[in-house]
Structure 1
């Protein structure tokens, strides 16, 4: 009996055309908070973010995910009816119920089974693990992973003072984005390895709280608070993560970082990106850097980076790519794929 492997068949990204520079964001904050003493350049210096994407006010997360999914299907000649499964893997969601995957499937015109996978910024990476397992087990042959992130919807434009600003500062680095990945059954390995770990005792280090729910179930999602981050607690949580989770899959495959054509790393800030790379020995020149011009795209970050690397020719068919996830919770993981 032949072995069924998973190949990464296609990837696509959808980035809203409207952008907001950090200078423009700081100007808006100053206008709406006249008493806030915020030195210009503080957000850029702390995060490295120069620009982020902002979706249209009428857009929902499913719209961003469906736009990426539709782009992928059109570019690769795949009919929605050919999909066996859709996994929606975003932090942002349209509703508490049903699964946002249903909304994406309806917008794409697909009639296959769907479900959501959600694990903060590692959602897509976990969805790859799930899809690989299901394809390898013979359950499905063609799985579309979609992600739509709309963090601009919970950006706090008024703050009570400098202390509150620093508590919610991470909210000013995020960016709206959509992404899609198509995984298919194949005769040779494409998804070579994946591994994950977590230190859940640090879950309170980065939180988007639910403040209240709408009385009308069709009125939209519950009202959410801004992203609140304790940098000290978050860093402490990641320090508890055993870095062998990144190295062992490579070692088991007889590979090193140098064998990768590109390394996609989740990026919440530029200083933390380079600190992490130094910690685990990732060559900076291998990293697909997106944080400066595209902000923190939440769970869409890794597939958007892969799409950019493929589109630019940096990654070609047959090349090796490592995708490294870092997420609140806290959790970390890696997937090694042959494009």
Structure 2
């Protein structure tokens, strides 16, 4: 018995902010114009409406798992999407940040919003029943949450009308990857047969817009890459195909290099600690210290190469670092799905977004490469 990913869907809020918009919105300190896009390669990021919570973004993604017809598709939200799919070369400074080679997946222009569905999500189509309706467990796996108590999973389940057991899994940008890991383990144990794993990310609520000086701007810079989004994945028992390799590692001594410190017992009420802060250079150094072995060993242990995968999904925070990682791991460009320029850093929804945007069919292999604050790394290989 294996655990197979049978459906993937994501939700992207209609509203977008360009990197120029971000720079204009910052008060108290004037960064050099163009620096955000030049340093990150990000043109756009998504921003949830004020009345949308993390649970709402997860709910929108989950509902995208029930397509009215067969095949994968892109469902635009309102008139915000100019088109679906396709690829294009990052323009201007973003292309320079990417080394002039990587191509961005998604639509161009004013931005892309709505719900992406993978081809695999269509397997329950035509039944007249939501694909998630018979899930016997739901996991909310996200860096964001509606509130400290109760678990956001309960709020999502209430909005969806689910009555199965639920709980939260939280591990920064690796939350969804770890959620799928837990789902697989519970399926292999025989405890569950169909698990819904979902995420709702609202990091825009933790961006510091009033900046005191350059030092505080640098400390807050990682927040300007973040994007709101929702994601949903169905994991089901399958007698033949599914997840066939998974491995995880951590360097917890580096936990302080990227934090959102408010709301817990350390800073329970001080609003000054309600903003994301981090040291990008130290974070990159921490990941380099762990090294790429966890990813390369996955290939060695399975006897595969990256060419054996239809999609290699990699967590993306900045185009220069994605280019560096792709070169170190020798990942072919045509296997990568570059979501960052037009969708920003979607936190734990990044890997599902790339699966939804990527080109694969049932039976294809996909690779999920995760990096998250804490810090942690993870790799999962699956036959879809």
TM-score (structure 2 length as normaliser): 0.81
Equivalent of residue 92 in structure 1, options 123, 128, 144: 144
Aligned to 2:303: 254
Do 2:132 and 2:234's aligned partners in 1 also have CA atoms closer than 8 Å?
no
Query: Residues 135-184 of structure 1: CA distance to partner in whole angstroms, max 9, x if unpaired?
Result: 11111010000000000111111100111111101111100000000011
Do 2:222 and 2:280's aligned partners in 1 also have CA atoms closer than 8 Å?
no
Tell me the distance in 2 between the aligned counterparts of 1:15 and 1:111.
26
The runs of 5 or more residues in structure 1 that have no matched partner are: 216-221
| Greater mean deviation of Cα atoms: 118-127 or 276-285 | 276-285
Structure 1 runs (4+) deviating above 3 angstroms are 73-81, 211-215
Aligned to 1:174: 226
Aligned to 2:288: 239
1:13 aligns with 2:13: no
1:326 aligns with 2:319: no
Aligned to 2:346: 297
Query: Residues 228-261 of structure 1: CA distance to partner in whole angstroms, max 9, x if unpaired?
Result: 1112321221122142211222222221111111
Do 1:264 and 1:324's aligned partners in 2 also have CA atoms closer than 8 Å?
yes
1:97 deviates by 1.1
Question: Map of 1:1-339 to 2, 5 A cutoff?
Answer: 4-29=1-26, 32-33=27-28, 36-73=29-66, 76=124, 77-78=129-130, 80-210=132-262, 212-213=267-268, 225-309=274-358, 314-339=359-384
SS at match of 1:337: strand
Tell me the distance in 1 between the aligned counterparts of 2:259 and 2:196.
28
The runs of 5 or more residues in structure 2 that have no matched partner are: 69-123
Tell me the distance in 2 between the aligned counterparts of 1:284 and 1:210.
39
Do 1:121 and 1:326's aligned partners in 2 also have CA atoms closer than 8 Å?
yes
Tell me the distance in 2 between the aligned counterparts of 1:9 and 1:55.
27
TM-score (structure 1 length as normaliser): 0.91
Tell me the distance in 2 between the aligned counterparts of 1:243 and 1:54.
32
1:324 deviates by 0.3
The alpha-carbon distance between structure 1 residues 214 and 162, as it changes in their structure 2 partners (threshold 3 A), is closer
Do 2:63 and 2:130's aligned partners in 1 also have CA atoms closer than 8 Å?
no
- Please tell me the root mean square deviation across aligned C-alpha atoms, in Å: 1.7
Tell me the distance in 2 between the aligned counterparts of 1:15 and 1:224.
27
| Greater mean deviation of Cα atoms: 62-71 or 236-245 | 236-245
| Greater mean deviation of Cα atoms: 92-101 or 222-231 | 222-231
1:284 deviates by 2.6
Do 2:312 and 2:368's aligned partners in 1 also have CA atoms closer than 8 Å?
yes
Tell me the distance in 2 between the aligned counterparts of 1:79 and 1:233.
42
Aligned to 2:98: none
Q: How many aligned positions are there?
A: 322
| Greater mean deviation of Cα atoms: 46-55 or 241-250 | 241-250
